[in-house]
Structure 1
Amino acid sequence: MLFDRMVAYYVVNGVLVIMNVAEFYKRLKEKFIERDGNVLFVRPTNQYNKKVEKGYR
């Protein structure tokens, strides 16, 4: 679903999509952190981990 949204954004803005779905998710895992199915930057990951430790979800 995230790939579909990225492609839609590119198409609407007239930008050529230069990767397929497999490469998109590979790069996503290389550059970001995944927690419970969510893709996060480092700072939100630290905040998320603290909330999970406290029992919030």
Structure 2
Amino acid sequence: MEYATCRGTTRRTAHCVYSLKVTTEEAAELEQGTWYTSTPATANDGGTVFQPRTATFGLSH
């Protein structure tokens, strides 16, 4: 699992930073535009849920 560093910006939103280590060639192959992150969440009792679009971000080269 990979993690981002986040800080709250409002009661309902956060700004997160994630660094991806790739080669120049790999970066060139990544599609520019809008991307989405998916999030698994686990409760204290062990129950889990999966949300397919929990954040939106833009990728540019």
Output the TM-score relative to the length of structure 2.
Answer: 0.18
Higher strand share: 2
Between 1 and 2, higher relative CO (CA 8 Å, sep ≥ 6) is seen in: 2
